[in-house]
Amino acid sequence: MSAITTTTSQRFANKTVLVTGGSSGIGLAAARAFANEGARVVITGRDEATLQAAREQLGGAALVLRNDASDLGQARALASLLSDQGLRLDAVFINAGMARFAGLADVDEALWDATFGANVKGAFFQIQALAPLLNKGASIVLNGSINARIGMPNSSVYAASKAALISLAKTLSAELLPRGVRVNVVSPGPVHTPLYGKLGMDETTLASVAAEIQSQVPLGRFGTSAEIASTVLHLAAPESAFIVGTEIIADGGMSQL
């Protein structure tokens, strides 16, 4: 894949940025964009082959770590590893998450626990573990979803987990602002990423669900990972210093018009 290219804007020169779940989709696009703008990038993920492919795309300067964002012990180990390497963080994109859709009658405890374990508990304890490493003025961006804002059938558990992140952005901003740290959410609408293959649907169902979702987007298309990444970089950069404890929705109008 393409090597890192130099752009004129270097908002993250001399900055260190962590992207959880940075080996695929939106996270990888954000990691690439941060690196293009001069950041030292750290990414995490679980699957070694996917991490290796990301390592090749991001180049040798990126620190690529196998780490499960839903595991408290691994959150602490990640913070220790970064600390041992003398790294401090200027931006964190809490992006690792999972989506599995099921109707009310089909949701079981395992689906609930896996979703909240990765999307809420994981996000919270990663922030807790990483907080001591944040530089003054650092920005934390949480990857939410417009599912928190709309009543899409079969999305209840996922949507509730993403709604929790909007609350965390407010309370954790209130706690971290004395240290100059802001927390905000980017809430994407539908974006073409490998996530759709992991929803637990067969191909025919998936194709019809995707067509149905697309028909609900006023812009008439799915978004791209690069479009979400550009909002993430905006929220991570000092240019958004007055945006605190809130959410930017990037959804082609799906939840708005």
Ligand X SMILES: NC(=O)c1ccc[n+]([C@@H]2O[C@H](COP(=O)([O-])OP(=O)(O)OC[C@H]3O[C@@H](n4cnc5c(N)ncnc54)[C@H](OP(=O)(O)O)[C@@H]3O)[C@@H](O)[C@H]2O)c1
Where do contacts with ligand X occur on this chain (CB under 6 A)?
20-21, 23-27, 44-47, 50, 68-70, 95-99, 118, 143, 145, 188, 190-191, 193-195, 198
CB closer to ligand X out of 190 and 252: 190
Euclidean distance between CA atoms 225 and 99, whole angstroms: 16
To the query of whether residue 158 is one of the catalytic residues in this protein, the response is: yes
Nearest approach in angstroms of CB 42 to ligand X is 13
Residue nearest to ligand X (CB): 25
CB closer to ligand X out of 26 and 130: 26
CB closer to ligand X out of 135 and 195: 195
Nearest approach in angstroms of CB 105 to ligand X is 23
Nearest approach in angstroms of CB 114 to ligand X is 9
CB closer to ligand X out of 97 and 245: 97
Nearest approach in angstroms of CB 157 to ligand X is 12
**Of the listed 34, 101, 125, 158, which one is catalytic?**
158
Query: Any idea which residues carry the catalytic annotation?
Result: 158
